[in-house]
Amino acid sequence: MIDFINSIVVLLNFVIIPGLSYGSQLALGALGVTFVYAVLRFANFAHGELMSFGAMITILFTWFFQSQNIGLGLLPTAIIALPFGILATIILGLLSDKFVFKYYRKQKSVPVVLAMVSIGVMFVVNAIIRIVVGTETIKFSDGQKFIMKAKQFKAMTGLNEGLALKSSQVITILITILLLTFTFWFLQKTKTGKSMRAFSDNEDLALLSGINPDRVVFITWLIVGTLACVAGTLYGLDKSYKPIIYLNLVLPVFASAIVGGIGSPFGAVVGGYVIAFSEIMVTYAYKKFFKYLLPESLEPSSLVQLLSTDYKFAVSFTILVIVLLIRPSGIFKGKVL
């Protein structure tokens, strides 16, 4: 019995908790992509840079607060800096819409052209970020690093295996729950949310029934900016902030959005967790896990790892390709908010 609990703890510590926090970050990112896709109708390649930009502004404000000795004690200072980051990200999104995307929307350009345009935006934002903070890795998490250390857990329960709980992971999961609840409540219950859903379902019909498209677009950017900034900051808080990483992150984010069914917010969230868990589960070495479960004679000699961690990245795409082949519309039928 103890062995069984030990094995579960191993799994919790190395697979489930990291998977939940990484999945939350992906889900928030994918939700942003989904909103742009459903309302503005294009694949926004600049979304990764939007996340990075939000994280960067949050970091700048964190530094400012740290220099002023303002902090939250046990919690990271980044949390008070986050609203400023969100504001800046929203402004960036609105500016990019006003000066770039709006023109093509009015022209009714095909989605591919808009995707190309978003690549241009990606380059510009990328350059701004690099010019402001360079390309070095930045660690900006402060406060208490662990809520529960592995040693404490061992002492508390008397088990062989420790369970470490990083505060960044808990914060990530809590903020995600909060934000997701709010977003879905907004979409389902408020009038504005309903008008957004109507707009994404059928633009012409929505216009006929008197929905103001500019307002819908404005609110979309509000949501997208918030989601992107929070996702980017949480990712940076959990790992560390590196401007180049976000370009790579855009691919799993897209994969999550598509796997869940692009255009479907619920699908995007599920997709985020699917991608995160499969990345971690496929590349995790299960040796320790089986050590507790199997009798000694059957103990595995190898690492029992399906793929080496080098291929973490490839996993999300393999899943993407498989889903697209078997069920092109994604897990949940997409295209409608």
Partner 1 sequence: MKFDKYEWTAISIMVSLFILVGFIQGWSVSLVILNMCIISAIMTMGVNISWGYAGVINFGVMGFLAMGGLAAVLVSYPPIKEAWQVGGSGLGISFILLIVLVTAVFFITKLVEKKSHKYWLNGLVILFGLIIIRYFFLNATAKIEEVDPALAGFLGGANLPIIFSWVVGGFFAGGVAFVIGKVALGLRSDYLAIVTLGISEIVVSVLKHEEWLSRGVKNVIGLKRPVPYEINLQNSEWFINIVTWFNSSKLNNIIDPEKKQEVLTNLIIDGSGIFVKLNYALLFFIVMIVIYYFANKAQISPWGRMMRAIRDNEVSANAMGKDIVKQHLIIFVIGAAIVGVAGAMLVTLDGLFTPSGYRPLRFTFIIWIMVIVGGSGNNLGAIFGGFVIWFAWIEVAPLTTFLIEVFTSGMDPQNAIRLHLLDSVPYFRYLLMGMVLLLILRYRPKGIIPEKVRHS
Task: Output the smallest distance, CB 3 to partner 1, in A.
Answer: 26
d(CA 249, CA 253): 6
Work out how close the CB of 334 gets to partner 1 at its nearest, in angstroms, rounded to a whole number: 11
Nearer to partner 1, 161 or 279 (CB): 279
Which residue has tokens 């800096």? 81
Nearer to partner 1, 162 or 260 (CB): 260
Compute the least distance from the CB of residue 296 to partner 1, in Å.
23
Distance separating alpha carbons of residues 76 and 166, to the nearest angstrom: 12
Query: Which C-beta is closer to partner 1: that of 147 or that of 336?
Result: 336
Torsion sign over Cα 312, 313, 317, 320:
positive
Residues 153 and 135 sit within 8 Å (Cβ to Cβ): no
Nearer to partner 1, 86 or 125 (CB): 125
If the CB atoms of residues 212 and 308 are measured against partner 1, the closer one turns out to be 308
For the bound state, the minimum distance from the C-beta of residue 21 to partner 1, rounded and expressed in Å, comes to 23
Q: Output the smallest distance, CB 4 to partner 1, in A.
A: 26
Minimum CB distance to partner 1 smaller for 83 or for 111: 111
Distance of closest approach, residue 183 Cβ to partner 1, in angstroms: 23
Give the ranges where 134-264 is alpha helix by DSSP (H). Answer: 150-157, 167-189, 191-201, 203-208, 213-238, 245-260
* Residue in 173, 313, 310 with CA at minimum distance from that of residue 238: 173
* Sequence-ordered list of residues with C-beta below 8 angstroms from that of 275, at least 6 positions apart, any chain: 23, 26, 252, 255, 256, 259, 316, 319
CB of 182 to partner 1, least distance (A): 28
Give the nearer residue to partner 1 in terms of CB position, either 150 or 324.
324
Nearer to partner 1 among residue 130 and residue 154 (C-beta): 130
CB 191 to partner 1: min, Å = 31
Q: Which amino acid is at 78?
A: A
Q: At its nearest, how many Å lie between partner 1 and the CB of residue 245?
A: 12
Q: Please report the sign of the dihedral spanned by the C-alpha atoms of residue 53, residue 58, residue 62, residue 68.
A: positive
Nearest to 18 by CA among 170, 206, 195: 170
CA 307, CA 310: separation in Å to the nearest integer? Answer: 8
| 146 three-state secondary structure | strand
* Residue nearer to partner 1 on the CB measure, 222 or 307: 307
Rg (CA), the chain: 21
Q: Which residues bind partner 1 (CB under 8 A)?
A: 42-43, 100, 103, 110-113, 115-117, 119-128, 130-131, 134, 247-248, 251, 254-255, 258, 308, 310-311, 313-314, 316-318, 320-321, 324-326, 328
Q: Count H helices, E strands: the chain?
A: 15, 2
Indicate the burial class of 255 (C-beta count within 10 angstroms; 0-12, 13-18, 19 or more). Answer: buried
